[in-house]
Amino acid sequence: MKVAGILFAVLLAGFTVDAAIYFKEQFLDGDAWKSRWVESKHKSDYGQWKLSAGKFYGDAEKDKGLQTSQDARFYAVSSRFEPFSNEGKPLVIQFTVKHEQKIDCGGGYVKVFPADLDQADMHGDSQYYIMFGPDICGYSTKKVHVIFNYKGKNHLIKKEIKCKDDEMTHLYTLILRPDQTYEVKINNEKVESGTLEEDWDFLPPKRIKDPEAKKPEDWDDRAKIDDPEDTKPEDWDKPENIPDPDAKKPDDWDEEMDGEWEPPMIPNPEYKGEWKPKQIDNPSYKGAWVHPEIDNPEYTADDSIYKFDNIGVIGLDLWQVKSGTIFDNFLITDDEKAAEEIGAETWGATKEPEKKMKEKQEEEERKQREEEKKAMCRDLSYSLKRQRCCFCLPLLLLTIAIVNKLP
């Protein structure tokens, strides 16, 4: 059993070593990241990035990443790597995001660009290959973007993929395969998958309605019809409202001054509403007419939708109302297994310590608020006792009640 285990570990290690790692960034060398990442100069008021692990973390050094630092700003920064094509092999894009600021509106996604991108001029309209990651704005927008550029046009996924909206670090992974399938994972677990042709409008539909086909004039698609034998009862028609039979003219009614008195109207208890004949099965019913379809002459299959020939830059190009998001653990590879293992070694190793640190901070903050409340009550009680006023006790009780309602 030990030999088998060792053999498996060796084989697994060999599989991982063969993986092509096109880009990997964990910000483990301090400010040296500034030599690898280029901040765009397209706008003069882009927000500033800083290296930080945030207010809570699993590892003070390993969890450092690029953090947005100014509210209500656009951000634009990118990093270059050796260009490559994903033809004939998987493409895996992975990174971590932490919205520790309780984000209300802002992006947490990455963009993958062609190698010919001018990094110093990168901006929101710069053409990209892929846009992937979470986007949050209010209660209505909390989704994962998966956008591909195909023949110069950006195509949004037709499915709705929910993103994480809490304050913890989360791992986002996009897998694009040469068989034209894809998979989206959050925290190393699959949340969506499918085919490129079905889940995006890259190509015209394979089948369309036959423009020459028309529903026959004698086609009867009414499942029910009025019963020709049914007739309206003679006593059916009754007025909807009638004069109130119990109403009496007021004693002080003056017809010369008030006009002729008329009793008020009330709903007629015998009113039956509009009469309609009974419905029966239509003997001529042929069912719902289905428009015949034909092959779409404008459709041409394309087995290379997944392929990008000159991948060479990854960037963060986004807007944030409230800053504080941290991006880390960037990875671009052709090996799904390697990406999963690296995700487990990075995000997976620090997620529990991060959670414990946050819970400890929240508990300490709760205790501090309780102590502040008690101190406020003690100070007020002492002050009122010294004044010895007749309304001191009621005022004290009211104040204590208000303080206890404070968060």
Residue appearing with tokens 């009211």: 398
- pLDDT given for residue 371 in this prediction: 82
Answer whether residue 5 shows pLDDT above 60. Answer: no
317 in a labelled binding site:
yes
DSSP 71-122: SSEEEEEEEEEEEE--TTS-EEEEEEEEETT--SEEE--EEEEETT--GGG-
276 in a labelled binding site:
no
166 in a labelled binding site:
no
128 in a labelled binding site:
yes
Average pLDDT of the chain to the nearest whole number = 91
What percent of the chain shows pLDDT beyond 70?
89
127 in a labelled binding site:
no
328 in a labelled binding site:
yes
Per-position b or e across 345-382, b if 16+ CB within 10 A of its CB = ebbbebbeebeebbeeeeeeeeeeeeeebeeeeeebee
Taking the model in full, what pTM does it have? 0.77
Domains of the chain (ranges; CATH) run 18-198+309-345 (2.60.120.200), 358-404 (no CATH)
Q: Using an 8 Å Cβ cutoff, are 135 and 143 in contact?
A: yes
How far apart are the C-alpha atoms of 148 and 131, rounded to whole Å? 7
pLDDT in tens, 80-119: 999 999 999 999 999 999 999 999 999 999 999 999 999 9
Between 397 and 169, the more confident residue is 169
Q: pLDDT-based confidence at 10, cuts 50/70/90? A: very low
How far apart are the C-alpha atoms of 399 and 407, rounded to whole Å? 15
Query: Mean pLDDT, to the nearest integer, of 296-316?
Result: 97
Answer whether residue 9 shows pLDDT above 60. Answer: no
* Count of Cβ atoms closer than 10 Å to residue 47 Cβ: 20
Answer whether residue 4 shows pLDDT above 50. Answer: no
Between 149 and 13, the more confident residue is 149
Q: Using an 8 Å Cβ cutoff, are 168 and 96 in contact?
A: no
- pLDDT given for residue 111 in this prediction: 98
Answer whether residue 11 shows pLDDT above 90. Answer: no
Q: Could you say which DSSP state residue 151 is in?
A: T
64 in a labelled binding site:
yes
Q: pLDDT-based confidence at 384, cuts 50/70/90? A: low
How far apart are the C-alpha atoms of 383 and 395, rounded to whole Å? 12
* β-strand partners of 49: 68
111 in a labelled binding site:
yes
How far apart are the C-alpha atoms of 74 and 323, rounded to whole Å? 10
DSSP 207-263: EEE-TT----TT----SEEE-TT----TT----SEEE-TT----TT--HHHH-S--P
62 in a labelled binding site:
yes
* Count of Cβ atoms closer than 10 Å to residue 53 Cβ: 23
Answer whether residue 404 shows pLDDT above 70. Answer: no
Query: Mean pLDDT, to the nearest integer, of 8-20?
Result: 54
Q: Using an 8 Å Cβ cutoff, are 335 and 18 in contact?
A: yes
Q: Using an 8 Å Cβ cutoff, are 47 and 75 in contact?
A: yes
How far apart are the C-alpha atoms of 190 and 92, rounded to whole Å? 14
Answer whether residue 391 shows pLDDT above 60. Answer: no
How far apart are the C-alpha atoms of 323 and 316, rounded to whole Å? 14
- pLDDT given for residue 379 in this prediction: 72
Answer whether residue 155 shows pLDDT above 70. Answer: yes
Q: Using an 8 Å Cβ cutoff, are 82 and 311 in contact?
A: no
- pLDDT given for residue 19 in this prediction: 85
Q: pLDDT-based confidence at 17, cuts 50/70/90? A: low
